[in-house]
Amino acid sequence: MRAIGLVLSVAVMAMSTAAEARPKWALVVHGGAGVIERKDLKPEQEKAYREAMTRVANAGADVLKRGGSALDAIEASIHLLEDDPLFNAGRGAVFTAEGKNELDASIMDGSNLKAGAAAGVTTIRHPISLARAVMEKSPHVFLIGEGAETFAKTQSLELVDPSFFFTERRWQGLERELKRQGLPVPARPAGAPKASADTADLAHDEDGGRNASLLDVNKKFGTVGVVALDAKGNVAAGTSTGGTTGKRWGRVGDAPIIGAGTYASNRSCAVSATGTGEYFIRLTIAREICALVEHKGMSLQAAADQVIQKDLTALKGDGGVIAVAPNGDMAWSFNTSGMYRAKVADGQPLVVGIYKDDP
């Protein structure tokens, strides 16, 4: 009898420890994956990225601490990233071969599997908010181009001139990429500031303007994404990007595609991806990770590693993901040398990383 009592009380203790260990809320952020090595980042650049990740994670955490929803936390965090020229989303987005900034974003609510996405928009300051409006205020999931802009005008979304997104270093990145491909360089966009030799900003370019071996477009980075768990136990995911430098023919990557760049379900997890979008689409990366958690009972980290380190790597794709589960587990996995990232949860300290060997 006493033995049974002991076993029971040990079991109760173990359960309550597990319950205590489960954070009420959690949030993970990424600012893109790619070739990001210590030798490529100057100390002030590294500092700027670490500070940006910290600021963005704290902004999302503040929303969650106040009892705000995962969707609100994601939107607040991604607004900061979209406004920050360090990242390839909103202001600071890369250019198409025609010299435009065509922006893509998506968001998904794990509590009801509602989702919204927009692609190829050029006048919406915060594409993530357009994606959310598509989810909440339209009967659709995915709007593109002019139609998406027409819908945006019916919503209280901030519209800007396309030149708002212009940054000199992204323009110079386009020039280099088009020359590399032997394609003509378009005229500077209307409204862009006059050409300037001053690219001494803190952003980390594909080649940093220094290293020719890093000119490969596949070594890009800067897409942004956030996944969150709120105090109600709901998970959500959001992703926003300018896509890839010199993209042509209306190319759209994985970021606005539900199941590829973004997925969320309270039955499994929430995922946001970054990397060579074509591979992420073919592997439906975000949904695949959640499916492994839901149907195979894999841990979040094991599922993310399976899909990124094995499946994506086998296909010779590159990039990474961040993920959060309703039980508060957080994970990231990437097969590039770096990924700008941060995670924070109720009762757990903020962790910021850039390189592979960061914690």
Provide the annotated active-site residues: 223
Amino acid at 257: I
Instruction: List strands edge to edge, sheet with 330-334.
Output: 262-264, 270-275, 319-324, 330-334
Q: Is 336 among the residues that bind ligand ASP (CB under 6 A)?
A: no
Q: For 83-107, give the secondary structure using H, E and C.
A: HCCCCCCCCCCCCECCCCCCEEEEE
Q: Is 31 among the residues that bind ligand ASP (CB under 6 A)?
A: no
Q: Is 244 among the residues that bind ligand ASP (CB under 6 A)?
A: yes
> Is the separation of the CB atoms in 322 and 332 below 8 Å?
yes
> Which of 25, 27, 31, 32 is in the footprint of ligand ASP by CB under 6 A?
32
Q: Is 275 among the residues that bind ligand ASP (CB under 6 A)?
A: yes
Q: Is 91 among the residues that bind ligand ASP (CB under 6 A)?
A: no
The residue among 235, 234, 218 whose CA lies nearest residue 272 is: 235
Comparison of 25 and 221: residue with beta carbon closer to ligand ASP = 221
Centroid of chain to Cα 55: 15
Dist CA 338 CA 239 (whole Å): 18
Q: Is 221 among the residues that bind ligand ASP (CB under 6 A)?
A: yes
Q: Is 220 among the residues that bind ligand ASP (CB under 6 A)?
A: yes
Q: Interacting stretch for ligand ASP, rule CB under 6 A, among 159-167, 180-188, 270-278, 346-354? A: 270-278
Tokens of 357: 């060997």
> Which of 96, 223, 234, 272 is in the footprint of ligand ASP by CB under 6 A?
223
Q: Is 240 among the residues that bind ligand ASP (CB under 6 A)?
A: no
Place of tokens 């086998």: 314
> Which of 59, 86, 130, 255 is in the footprint of ligand ASP by CB under 6 A?
255
> Which of 122, 241, 245, 262 is in the footprint of ligand ASP by CB under 6 A?
241
Q: Is 256 among the residues that bind ligand ASP (CB under 6 A)?
A: no
Dist CA 8 CA 51 (whole Å): 47
Q: Is 254 among the residues that bind ligand ASP (CB under 6 A)?
A: yes
Q: Is 97 among the residues that bind ligand ASP (CB under 6 A)?
A: no
> Is the separation of the CB atoms in 284 and 250 below 8 Å?
no
What residues does 240 pair with on adjacent strands?
105, 224
Q: Tell me the C-alpha to C-alpha distance, in Å, between residue 167 and each of 99, 174, 240.
A: 12, 11, 17
Nearest distance from C-beta of residue 275 to ligand ASP, angstroms: 5
Nearest distance from C-beta of residue 222 to ligand ASP, angstroms: 6
How many Cβ atoms sit within 10 Å of the Cβ of residue 33? Answer: 30
Comparison of 91 and 220: residue with beta carbon closer to ligand ASP = 220
Which residues lie near ligand ASP (CB under 6 A)? 32, 220-221, 223, 241, 243-244, 253-255, 274-277
